[in-house]
Structure 1
């Protein structure tokens, strides 16, 4: 039978649930890739359809009315059912169990994702999780075009059309072999760093983008390599300075195979972020995996 006109469309319900969860229309807009004005318009239209006021607006944000609490509880059930419908259809199309495809940049893939995958396996054994390893630019591309369900990136820039959530923090550091001249004093100036060719990752890597944004080097890299392991190997074997994630060289620093070089005035702390397409609701296995990564 036809739906009652008091039932808003799923998109409006999804936006309202985000507003209720975040307490802010601006924050909900960021999550959905919408302006604050667009979110406000959707909420007003839904309130007209439903026939009750869902939110009280104030200078510090929004709060659910007593009626809104009940409506949001019902809306969550509707959205959960819609996600179950979508997951079921996807399973039929794939002729098998649900599959979650993850695209992850090098540092996240090597040091964080494996533990998250194990937690997901214990929590949802019927979901098959597949990981693809690539640089941050490629991760964003695969998530945007639907080849990956969720991605993890290291770079400071994220294309439009993607939702973003910080899941961890990391620091880029300069390292070199123990017999390199910098290793004696364990320090280098910003000017010296800017004019020294380093072993670096390839263009499109989050590590490369963060380093260039922080340091603005005036010379090209000594060599460009496509993996963290290759960068570390080159730094050790060629006794050359390199820029790497602190997560990736903990063992080498402890053993003395590499030496950390301090650069006064340079901070390369970065956010490691999850990204997902805003064209699909963040529910089901995608939401479950994101929740695990955020823990």
Structure 2
């Protein structure tokens, strides 16, 4: 039977749910590319259509009324079902001609993406893959512009204007050549000393450099040398040009073989997260190969624990789910 005229259109439901998520009509409007006034007008139209007040507007923000709480829960189910429909339609449109346009930060592109793509190709479903390797800031720009379907970036903080999910972790390590004075240092280097030491660094916009500067709270002095790849930085350190802070992924072999020496640090946390980023609904990467790649990367970062003796084989305990932010 036809739907009642009291059922709002999908875009209005999405706007309402974003108001619930942000607590602000203005913030929700920005997500939808409209002004606060336009968002407010659209929500008032929704309330007239359903026949009751959905939102309670206050000076400190906006919250759901009692009726609005029930309505928002139903709206969330409708939007989720619509997203599933969108996913299915996309899969049908691209069936047999799946492609993946990917951009990744240099570290991720060199050390993680090849393994992820090999696993993805082994399961089929993707015929053409293009990969652009650049720094994290440029990756984010390519995603925003729609040039690529998915980006993979490094850095301590999420990007506020893109949907994202953590697909792995890495830490930065201070390294020097074996004949550098710090190679024989018995005490860790203090953060304050590192902050005033000229380093061999990546270029501005690199996730590695951004993470270091944020951790130290300062850009520090002018670099000894500024280079566009971790490989070039690593080779410069090995040549004796100075210390560097690099991803452990990028120097693992050199540390193992003694070509570089790790130096302890104190007073600074150089752990960071690796994220997949995209334009679209939070928690739902683009359908098709992009979503499959995120699933592959996440599974490799968090492999399932082996079953202990006595575990029930093939049975997964039922647990309650909670919404992610």
- The bucket for the TM-score relative to the shorter chain is 0.7 to 0.9
- The answer for unaligned runs of 5 or more in structure 2 is 55-62, 300-325
Higher helix content, 1 or 2 = 1
Residue in 2 that maps onto 1:174: 174
Contact preservation (8 Å) 1:33, 1:162 = no
Q: Structure 1, residues 89-115: CA drift from partner, whole Å, max 9, x if none?
A: 5x49xxx71212111101222222223
- Which residue number in structure 2 is paired with residue 25 of structure 1? 21
Whole-Å Cα distance in 2 between the matches of residues 76 and 174 of structure 1? 45
- Quote how far apart the aligned CAs of 1:278 are: 3.7
Which one of the candidate residues 269, 288, 294 is aligned to 1:290? 294
CA contact (8 A) 1:190 1:265 kept: yes
**Aligned residues between the structures:** 281
Moved more, 196-205 or 7-16: 7-16
Name the structure 2 match of 1:274.
Answer: 276
Q: Given the superposition, is the C-alpha separation of residues 33 and 272 from structure 1 closer, same or farther in structure 2, using an over 3 Å criterion?
A: farther
Question: Aligned pair in 2 of structure 1 residues 14, 112: CA closer, same or farther (>3 Å)?
Answer: farther
Q: Does 1:207 align with 2:208?
A: yes
Supply the distance in 1 between the matched residues of 2:29 and 2:92 (Cα, whole angstroms): 24
Distance in 2 (CA, whole Å) between partners of 1:111 and 1:17 is: 38
The reply on whether 1:155 has 2:155 as its aligned counterpart is: yes
Distance 1:214 1:13 in 2: 40
> CA separation of 1:3/1:284 partners in 2, compared to 1, >3 Å: closer, same or farther?
farther
Query: TM-score with structure 1 length normalisation?
Result: 0.74
Q: Note the C-alpha offset of 1:192.
A: 2.9
CA contact (8 A) 2:200 2:241 kept: no
**Cα distance between partner residues in 2 of 1:124 and 1:17:** 36
Deviations 1:174-226 (A, max 9, x none): 10011110000153233332232111101110111111222225421111111
Moved more, 140-149 or 6-15: 6-15
Alpha-carbon distance in structure 1 between the residues aligned to 2:160 and 2:154: 16
CA change 1:97–1:32 in 2 (3 A) is farther
C-alpha deviations, 1:240-276, integer Å up to 9, x for none? 2111001211111111111111121121111212211
Give me the TM-score of the superposition, normalised by structure 2.
0.68
Residues 14 and 79 in structure 1, CA contact (< 8 A), matched pair in contact too:
no
Q: RMSD across aligned C-alpha pairs, in angstroms?
A: 4.3
Q: Distance in 2 between matches of 1:81 and 1:99?
A: 20
1:273 & 1:41 partners in 2: Cα distance? 36
Greater Cα radius of gyration, structure 1 or 2: 2
